[in-house]
Amino acid sequence: MPNRRVIALSLVLSLFCAPILAQNGGGDLLARIRKEAMDRSQIMKTMHMLTDVYGPRLTGSPNHKAAADWAVKQMTAWGLSNAHLEPWDFGHPGWLNERLTAHIISPVKDPLVCEVLSWTPSTKGTVQAKALQIVLPDRPSQQQLTDFFNAQKSRVRGRIVLVGKHTIVPINLNPPPKRNTEEQVQQRFGPNARPFAFPTPSPTPTPDPNAPKPLTNAQIAEQLDLFLRDNGALVRVNDAGREFRQIRAFNNRTFDVNKAVPTVVMSNEDYGRITRILADGTDVVLEFNIVNRVYPEGTTSYNTVAEIPGTDKTDEVIMLGGHLDSWHAATGATDNAIGCAIMMEAARILQGLGVKPRRTIRVALWSGEEEGLLGSQVYVKQHFGSFESPKADYEKFGGYFNIDSGTGLVRGAGVFGPPEAAAIMREILEPFKADGVVGAVATKSRNLGGSDNTSFSQAGLPGIGMGQDPIEYNSNTWHTNLDTYERILEDDVKKDAMVVAWSAYELAIRDNLLPRFATNDMPAKPAETATTQPSATPQRTVPTKKSENKTTKPRRHRR
């Protein structure tokens, strides 16, 4: 009789649990995720909206705000909960380039390929003037730079000024491959992965103790802008210094349009042509019309957040995200609309399949990443604090997945935490070996830089950076005027969304959170300066450049 009761009870329990297991991943969930990701994907539609309709999405610009608003509405329409914008203080007005025309007028007539430097002013209508090329002294002291400016004062007024020599860009006879080899991904993410090593820097020349101290690049740049402004230069022109008319146009370091002249970054080919004609002793006449607009309301920027609520562990959170902001030379497709689209798609897949994760799965689309991971830093400090100063939810955080390396296949993951954390992620990623995913490795770095996963790692939380095949990211699209919808590999990014959806769900249903470093083993937090502390509204901060940490992608450079 007892055996019959046990059998009957087991049958009842199995009947009761069967729907739950089917819904929450019993047996066929991975197959269902794969089918939803590959056959019913919305990812390219999302890409179209974020790039073609709302790009570029410079932090503080109305384009970024419109993209964030659209993402809130779209995720709500998919059934996600609590979709909203979280404001934080960017501390600078928004800026947008509305019009640019650039031409050589004499001795030939031809359009020029240029991009405007952000946070610089407009021209006063269409301006036409002779070109003047100036070459600053190398690593000057203050006195040397002052002497140079005094010698150039009478020459720059009313001129369009090319700053610097023409960069000689050698023809690359061995372009980098678009896919990582199996050996490369094994070295990076395999069981015997090699730790990342920064290239050995060039030795710094020993300065003459009696020589004047050279100025920093930032000091030179600021003084040069003021010199050109105060002495009546009409337009400043920088050499892009890249092949195939690629242009990276960043920002005026002061974010103050009153401290610079209208400035463009010109294609290396056009800059070189003008340089060579000037070297012949022939005058060159250029013409520009630049219309830029400043938006005071852009001092407040926004992170975009939505979630799938958890069940029995709903107060614990698994996060996935990417940065929604971009630079302005193109529509920011591979950097990083695609990261946002992948994470939105992963959440859509899970929501559409009706799964019920134990922990809450939260999507976050950051702003201010390009200016120094600002939005994600604010979010982490507000919601979680840090290992040194934890908030109530610090111990309830289960991991943050980040994609920010373009359109390539995910090949592995880097996890901030002890080896045990990487072992769990390696097991979660095991079903995707046939798709080229190799595994996961642990990292101890709390350096800030690279991408938004390091905002979490710096706080001592498990930031998870997903490593991808490079495709054209570092060679062609990263921060350039070529970063458009056309550069997205649809099959790759569908698979990426599939991998992220499964991984986030698996972390959300485990009995325990990812292991973290024990108190005595937590790596020391790098020293912070006052300028690296963005804040939530209404406090004000000054963004700074990123560190050299290359957890996800190389350091940004400003021009």
CB atoms within 10 A of CB 6: 10
3-state secondary structure of 414: strand
pLDDT of residue 200: 67
Integer Cα distance of 522 and 460 in angstroms = 7
* CB neighbour list of residue 224: distance below 8 Å, 6 or more residues apart: 136, 163
pLDDT of residue 212: 86
Integer Cα distance of 464 and 441 in angstroms = 10
Integer Cα distance of 501 and 493 in angstroms = 12
Q: Going residue by residue through the chain (559 aa), what tens digit of pLDDT does each one get?
A: 445 544 444 443 343 344 334 444 445 999 999 999 999 999 999 999 999 999 999 999 999 999 999 999 999 999 999 999 999 999 999 999 999 999 999 999 999 999 999 999 999 999 999 999 999 999 999 999 999 999 999 999 999 999 999 999 999 999 999 999 999 999 999 988 886 665 666 676 676 777 889 999 999 999 999 999 999 999 999 999 999 999 999 999 999 999 999 999 999 999 999 999 999 999 999 999 999 999 999 999 999 999 999 999 999 999 999 999 999 999 999 999 999 999 999 999 999 999 999 999 999 999 999 999 999 999 999 999 999 999 999 999 999 999 999 999 999 999 999 999 999 999 999 999 999 999 999 999 999 999 999 999 999 999 999 999 999 999 999 999 999 999 999 999 999 999 999 999 999 999 999 999 999 999 999 987 544 444 444 333 333 333 334 444 444 433 3
Go through the domains of the chain in sequence order and give each one's CATH number: 94-171+214-297 (3.50.30.30)
pLDDT of residue 209: 78
CB atoms within 10 A of CB 314: 14
**CB-CB contact of 263 with 236 (8 Å):** yes
**CB-CB contact of 348 with 41 (8 Å):** no
57: number of CA atoms within 13 Å, CB side? 39
3-state secondary structure 344-412: HHHHHHHHHHCCCCCEEEEEEEECCCCCCCHHHHHHHHHHCECCCCECCCHHHEEEEEECCCCCCCEEE
490-509 and 338-353 helices cross at what angle (nearest 10)?
60
With left for phi above 0 and alpha for psi between -120 and 50, is residue 368 left, alpha or beta? Answer: left
Integer Cα distance of 131 and 103 in angstroms = 12
* CB neighbour list of residue 204: distance below 8 Å, 6 or more residues apart: none
Handedness of CA 472, 474, 480, 483 (dihedral sign): positive
Integer Cα distance of 522 and 417 in angstroms = 9
pLDDT of residue 140: 96
Residues facing residue 129 across a β-bridge: 286
Integer Cα distance of 117 and 108 in angstroms = 26
Integer Cα distance of 368 and 363 in angstroms = 17
DSSP string spanning 136-157? PPSS-BHHHHHHHHHHHHHHHT
Tokens of 385: 């604090």
Buried b (16+ CB within 10 A) or exposed e, 354-378: ebbbbbbbbbbbbbbbbbbbbbbbb
Tokens of 191: 């069981």
pLDDT of residue 79: 98
Residue 246 to residues 55, 114, 266, 478, 553, Cα–Cα distance (Å): 18, 9, 9, 10, 19
DSSP string spanning 429-497? HGGGGGGT--EEEEE------SSTHHHHHHTTS-EEEEEE--TTIIIIITTSTT-SGGG--HHHHHHHH
Identify the residue whose tokens are 């890249």. 242
Identify the residue whose tokens are 């094994």. 186
Q: Measured in whole angstroms, how far is the alpha carbon of residue 550 from the centre of its chain?
A: 12
**CB-CB contact of 56 with 116 (8 Å):** no
Q: Measured in whole angstroms, how far is the alpha carbon of residue 453 from the centre of its chain?
A: 10
CB atoms within 10 A of CB 262: 27
490-509 and 29-39 helices cross at what angle (nearest 10)?
150
Q: For 238, list phi and psi in degrees, rounded to 5.
A: -110, 150
Integer Cα distance of 380 and 159 in angstroms = 48
